[in-house]
Structure 1
Amino acid sequence: MKKIITILSLFIVSISYSQAVVINELDCDTPGIDYGEFVELKSATPNFALDGYVLVFFNGSTSGGDSSYFALDLDGAVTDVNGLLLIGSDTVTPYPQVFIGENLIQNGADAIAIYQGNDYDFPEGTLATTTNLVDALVYDTSDADDTALMDLLGVTEQINEGPGNNTNSIQRNNDGSYTSTTPTPRQLNDGSGVILNALEIAVSQTQVDEGASFDITFTAQSNVDSDYSFSFIMNNQGFDTSDYTGNISLTILSGQNQVSTTITLIDDALNEGDEEPLIRFDNLPTPLIPFNNNIKIRIVDNDFVIAPFGTPVNPTFGIVSSTQPTGYYDSLDGLSGAALEQALQDIIADPTVVRAQTYTDVIDILKEADQNPENSNQIWMVYTEQGRAKLDFQTNASNIGKWNREHTFPRSLAGYNSIEADDTGDGIDIYWTTEADSLRHGNSDAHALRAVDGQENSSRGNQHYGQYTGPSGNLGSFKGDVARSVLYMQIRYNGLSVVNGYPSTTGQMGDLATILDWHRNDPPDDFEMNRNNVVYNWQFNRNPFIDQPDLVEYIWGTNVGDTWNQNLSTDTFETSSIKLFPNPITDKLYVSGKEQNYNISVFSSEGRLVLKQQVANNNYLDLKVASGLYLVKIETENNKSLVKKILVN
């Protein structure tokens, strides 16, 4: 008899435990981009801790096989005064208590289910089951019933939210049935319980200069019935209370629904970089709840550093020196043809020296390597030839106003891709060993990755250079840079080559003739030498065509088959011995150096000769041309030459 009572007691406890929490509301599809999707759970008692529960999402499509595609561990989550827990992205209002990604919830026919267990009990692809099941909802958006999924979860009815882009949610009734109607997040479906009042944060400006002030206004959805005091914080990373003054403890007076405060930013004269405080509630008394939260604003630091060298559209030469080790290229001397290429690869792909970083580490590399010389808080974007805040790196589906990573030798042409480990930024001191056959590491080789405007990256796609020549109106300041980066890739990795035309064979990229032309007409400047030094500091290899640009001619160009010696590559007059000024110019371009006369050829960024003239030393060239970037070739009577960039206003 005692044994029967014990079994009966355990049965009762099990049923009681399984009814402790249910799926109260689901919005699986919202108009537009689905950022408003959410799940709401309800506990039998308020303020119920959900430790030991997991929410699992099942894919009912043919490809999904009625198996899990996401599991959310609920340890640490607690329901509110009405027993509700709202789960959604940070774009959902009122603000969720637990977060999932935007557009995570699939339309249907699918299912969500609560289990006793942990997220690791349901790895992706786990078949739906009734084992340890607490509650389940099989749903659709005007789709056919998934009877197999219903059987797996022991459910007898599939609930329709409505057709695609509907404005409904599926809501549980008190009798356990469901209704599809207007969503009621953070509110009991029958309208009972404590009526919560959502408090919204609004800022007068989303970008504020250091030393300036801005207002924050808090507005409740309805007037309060007594005085309610609350506080907020703005700390985020390096931004804290030492960076501002202003009242952060406020009171909404009885009968009102709004209160404001003014925050003044302290100009500390320190170059801390642009910062992004997060305005978020520190505590809110019931019935106030967040309508939104973690509102980000941009604080623009006015103490940025200006580099001693110019941007690619206003280039300088000879200011930045190569950090290559002594004798780095000595092994190339006396070689030609295939032997020269192999010796060069032996340097830049030496597995005992060279390091490979992750694709995520490249973000940090580019923030340093592609830093805007005119503003240390920005990166310089290839193709669009302009700066953008380092903080504006693309982190979600929208690339508008964002920058990301551009493969100059596109992934699809090369045949390399990311792996899971690429998603971790583990820093400069953690790296992979790499060699010439490590083609996958080309995906994260910073010599061939550039900071780029997100939309322009999409516009370029995987086009070969020549097919793609940059956005309309560009000055061509990037052309030599990207040319040298893809030529580097051919030498660095076995299986890659740069060829004439626009090939469709994996591992090949074109157009070689265009790339050689870009290299010749846009020689390496200080910006490019600086990024070569930065990347070398991470990867322990260099782009030789920046250090020794004449090598290009000995491998692909006019000196193929000739014997290379380093002194041949420097048989030009030093860039410091001749000056072109001013730069930018309006019409008169002065030439100053050590020779009596110079032969000057001026080319447009497309390579068209626009003027050729001899100029005496310390005299000027009358340059009446349209605004834009030009290449100036300076030659002496003993056939020494160099090319410089100028910008005509």
Structure 2
Amino acid sequence: MTPNSTVRHRRLASLAAMMLGACVALAQGPNNSGTYYKPADGKSGKSLKTAMAEVIVDHSAISYSGLWKCFYTTDRRSDGKVWDMYSSATNYTMGGPQQGANYKKEGDSYNREHSMPKSWFNDARPMYTDLVHIVPTDGYVNNRRGNYPFGETNGEQYQSAGGFSKLGRSTTSGYSGTVFEPADEYKGDFARIYFYMVTCYEKRVATWQSDMLDGTAYPALSRWALDLLLRWAKEDPVSQKETERNEAVWELQGNRNPFVDYPGLEQYVWGDKTAVAFSYDHYDSDGPSAITEATGGRPATVCVYTIGGTMVRRDVDKAGALQGLPKGIYIISSGNRGGMVKSIVR
């Protein structure tokens, strides 16, 4: 074993104990929510969605101008810059002169993006200022997105720098209109935001207008959109960025996103676990669920280790990194030099 690999092995072994504890905590439910979700205990499917709606719908309304200040807490990168989920080429100073400024191209300014377009709900409140779905993004890329649905595309109409996000004809089965595709590492983030929105506003969502919605309170999402978002949520598990943002929203707005607190919860509401009763204090996501240290960059190939630090796969694609492995606890690292680390329960 080389000196570098020895150091690597020791680092992974030390991380293993810490991450195992994190996984146990996850299985027992979110540590900071207490009995917040207790009213949803024992529910499943449609009833679970309704119960969750009653838990999370009451929250403090933030002013639209107040969102700028909230971003200092919810969307600031570790280097102090704006965390932009639409562009990989921006480097905005939080609150600097580029905040809300005019733009002609990508990189000119950032603004407040309603990730679920406000035109879908006719600019109505409290959705209009709900911090859960409003994030800072590059103004030009945001403008190119417009109010198009999320989806998957070849990006023949537009691509942001490096092809980070794309606009074009949908390649998703069941829908052929124009869609906006975010980067892979944020697809799960946006899926869980959408699950939150159609749950939190269950009593309103049937009146919203979008090709992603079906005009009902349940399932609320059209079949093609639901299948897409369920897949995105599975392929891009909950990250540390999301958990930290969820905590910040809790402090600022007074409610939480249960789909971040309970990775895989969407399967209990819409997926293959709709007949399984939800337990708020002893939750089993049945993998893959993850606690991730997000890097803010595009995902690379990863290596997979056992909880003891033994490498079992090298330089494999993130999306299929765990396919075929026995059920257990694994550590995923973005390469052999450290960086992004995950603890995943399968």
TM category (shorter chain) comes to: 0.5 to 0.7
- Displacement of 1:329 after TM fit? 1.6
1:452 aligned partner: 137
1:632 to 2:321 alignment: yes
Q: What TM-score comes out, normalization by structure 1 length?
A: 0.38
2:116 aligned partner: 409
- Displacement of 1:371 after TM fit? 0.6
1:466 aligned partner: 151
CA contact (8 A) 2:237 2:290 kept: no
1:363 to 2:68 alignment: yes
Q: C-alpha distance in 2, partners of 1:551/1:364?
A: 30
Alignment of 1:553-564 (within 5 A): 553-564=267-278
Alignment of 1:105-504 (within 5 A): 324-350=32-58, 354-373=59-78, 375-376=79-80, 378-385=81-88, 387-390=91-94, 391-398=96-103, 400=105, 401-417=108-124, 440-466=125-151, 471=160, 473-474=163-164, 475-493=183-201, 494-496=203-205, 502=212
- Aligned CA RMSD, in angstroms, stands at 4.1
Q: C-alpha distance in 2, partners of 1:515/1:574?
A: 16
User: SS at the partner of 1:388?
Assistant: coil
Unaligned 5+ residue runs, structure 1? 1-315, 418-439, 595-616
Q: C-alpha distance in 1, partners of 2:331/2:232?
A: 12
Q: C-alpha distance in 1, partners of 2:205/2:333?
A: 31
One-letter code aligned to 1:362: L
Q: C-alpha distance in 2, partners of 1:329/1:492?
A: 13
One-letter code aligned to 1:632: A
- Displacement of 1:592 after TM fit? 3.1
Task: Map Cα deviations across residues 74-129 of structure 1 (whole Å, 9 max, x no partner).
Answer: xxxxxxxxxxxxxxxxxxxxxxxxxxxxxxxxxxxxxxxxxxxxxxxxxxxxxxxx
CA contact (8 A) 1:483 1:516 kept: yes
1:569 aligned partner: 284
Q: C-alpha distance in 2, partners of 1:451/1:405?
A: 5
CA contact (8 A) 1:584 1:648 kept: no
CA contact (8 A) 1:522 1:631 kept: no
CA contact (8 A) 1:630 1:647 kept: no
User: SS at the partner of 1:368?
Assistant: helix
1:59 aligned partner: none
- Displacement of 1:454 after TM fit? 0.6
Change (3 A) 1:574 1:397: closer
User: SS at the partner of 2:92?
Assistant: strand
Task: Map Cα deviations across residues 180-234 of structure 1 (whole Å, 9 max, x no partner).
Answer: xxxxxxxxxxxxxxxxxxxxxxxxxxxxxxxxxxxxxxxxxxxxxxxxxxxxxxx
User: SS at the partner of 1:591?
Assistant: strand
Q: What TM-score comes out, normalization by structure 2 length?
A: 0.67
Question: Rg larger in 1 or in 2?
Answer: 1
- Displacement of 1:545 after TM fit? 0.4
Q: C-alpha distance in 2, partners of 1:392/1:347?
A: 39
2:14 aligned partner: none
Q: C-alpha distance in 2, partners of 1:585/1:413?
A: 31
Task: Map Cα deviations across residues 265-284 of structure 1 (whole Å, 9 max, x no partner).
Answer: xxxxxxxxxxxxxxxxxxxx
Higher helix share: 2
Change (3 A) 1:541 1:643: farther
- Displacement of 1:409 after TM fit? 0.8
Q: C-alpha distance in 2, partners of 1:465/1:574?
A: 23
- Displacement of 1:590 after TM fit? 4.9
One-letter code aligned to 1:546: V
Task: Map Cα deviations across residues 344-392 of structure 1 (whole Å, 9 max, x no partner).
Answer: 1111013xxx21111111111122201112x02x111012145422114
CA contact (8 A) 1:481 1:524 kept: yes
Larger RCO of the pair (alpha carbons < 8 Å, separation 6+): 2
Q: C-alpha distance in 2, partners of 1:466/1:648?
A: 33
Q: C-alpha distance in 2, partners of 1:458/1:571?
A: 39
User: SS at the partner of 2:244?
Assistant: helix
Task: Map Cα deviations across residues 14-41 of structure 1 (whole Å, 9 max, x no partner).
Answer: xxxxxxxxxxxxxxxxxxxxxxxxxxxx
Unaligned 5+ residue runs, structure 2? 1-18, 165-182, 338-346
CA contact (8 A) 2:82 2:92 kept: yes
Change (3 A) 1:564 1:634: same
CA contact (8 A) 2:305 2:332 kept: no
CA contact (8 A) 2:302 2:333 kept: no
Q: C-alpha distance in 2, partners of 1:633/1:526?
A: 19
Q: C-alpha distance in 2, partners of 1:485/1:584?
A: 20
CA contact (8 A) 1:480 1:523 kept: yes
Q: Percent identity?
A: 23
CA contact (8 A) 2:45 2:270 kept: no
Alignment of 1:558-597 (within 5 A): 558-566=272-280, 567-570=282-285, 589-594=303-308
- Displacement of 1:416 after TM fit? 2.2
User: SS at the partner of 1:633?
Assistant: coil
Q: C-alpha distance in 1, partners of 2:101/2:66?
A: 18
One-letter code aligned to 1:358: S
Change (3 A) 1:550 1:406: same
Change (3 A) 1:549 1:590: closer
Q: C-alpha distance in 1, partners of 2:336/2:268?
A: 33
CA contact (8 A) 2:259 2:266 kept: yes
CA contact (8 A) 1:630 1:648 kept: no
Change (3 A) 1:334 1:529: same
Number of aligned residue pairs: 277
Q: C-alpha distance in 2, partners of 1:342/1:392?
A: 43
1:514 to 2:228 alignment: yes
User: SS at the partner of 2:33?
Assistant: coil
CA contact (8 A) 1:584 1:647 kept: no
- Displacement of 1:330 after TM fit? 2.2
Higher strand share: 1
User: SS at the partner of 1:589?
Assistant: strand
Change (3 A) 1:533 1:635: farther
